[in-house]
A = this chain, B = another copy of it.
């Protein structure tokens, strides 16, 4: 048998706690940065999306020529009303030489971790020097991950929370209570952004909503725009985008899915990977408004799965799955099936 290690949701949570949540976020930020620095080695394609009235189902593949990764992920803004996650995901790694899977994993939690780690990694290059205060607009499933990544990677330790639903803000503040933040709950977006050097928007269930307006954004701020991530779903007023220098993961995908879908197709944007690789500067001066138009890209999942695979070794947390048929003689797939018959003889023709 050719068994494939599987990381369940439970196993993922155990692994994260063994390593430490903040350590995982720092490691993932480093893993993503490492892969961004070798951007040219990857096969890149906009994700393959299947849209329906309720949401979207996407496949996100990439390969560096040695490992192949893909993620299955949905985005269903109405899922929360039925007790389900807006975004759920799983993914796998395969060996390019054989095409055989080498790891299958839950990725709902891993995606939240890698998204936050990527945001924090981007902010390393884009946020004003010494930033310690972040407004967190949208306090749903991704919010705490974002907060913790900015703390672990950048040292952000003052949070200003806002959500249209105060219960979400209370949940977020409660979950973050043990991590050493000074937390303020704000009654409005305007109140939340007061004094914040970084503004993270991570809302769900919005259709071209304006979560962040032009009057909310002062000079020198870094905006981490995470929530807008599919056609017709944006969070930031177009005037803010026009004032900002915009950094993207993979422009052909971001033009369709990101905040910049509101702008003309030739509006200049900059590649984050070029900044990470040191080819171009990130933030240029203290008064500039920078904006990371995050939609999530397949290479980030590749980085996360690669990291997972490395850290999984020897933990005993993986479960072995009999996922790929592996007859003793490769050409004898049918013979393997015959020999599996209950009577150990051939199955009788029907």
In the bound assembly, the distance between CA atoms of A6 and B13 in angstroms comes to 21
Chain B residues closer than 8 Å to A70, beta-carbon distance:
59, 72
Closest-CB distance, A273 to chain B (whole angstroms): 20
| Nearest opposing residue in chain B for A328, CB measure | B83
Give the interface segment out of A16-24, A207-215, A261-269, A278-286.
Answer: A16-24
Across the interface, A334 reaches (CB within 8 A) one of B80, B101, B141, B345, namely: B141
Q: Are A330 and B85 in contact (CB under 8 A)?
A: yes
A84-100 interface (Cβ within 8 A of B): 84-86, 88, 90, 92, 94, 96-100
Tell me if A257 is interfacial: C-beta within 8 Å of chain B. no
Inter-subunit contact A17/B98 (CB<8 Å) = no
Q: Which one, B17, B175, B335, contacts A175 given CB within 8 A?
A: B335
From the candidates B9, B48, B180, B326, name the one contacting A59 in the complex (CB within 8 A). Answer: B48
Does B45 contact A48, Cβ atoms closer than 8 Å?
yes
The listed residue with most B CB atoms (<10 A of its CB), out of A97, A175, A323, A328, is A323
- Interface assignment of A342: CB less than 8 Å from any CB of chain B: yes
Chain B: minimal CB distance from A41 (Å): 13
- State the oligomeric state as a number of copies: 2
Cβ of A178 within 8 Å of any chain B Cβ, yes or no, is yes
In the complex, are the beta carbons of A22 and B330 less than 8 A apart? no
Task: Please classify the interface of chain A as helix (H, G, I), strand (E, B), loop, or mixed, using the class held by over half of its residues.
Answer: mixed
Known: A141-B333, A334-B141. A349 touches B179 (CB 8 A): yes
Task: Verify if A321 is at the interface (C-beta below 8 Å from B).
Answer: yes
Q: Kindly list chain B residues whose C-beta atoms are within 8 Å of the C-beta of A341.
A: 17
The CA of A330 and the CA of B167, in the complex, are separated in Å by 13
Find A337's partner among B13, B20, B48, B325 (CB 8 Å cutoff): B13
| CB-contact partner of A321 in B6, B141, B174, under 8 A | B6
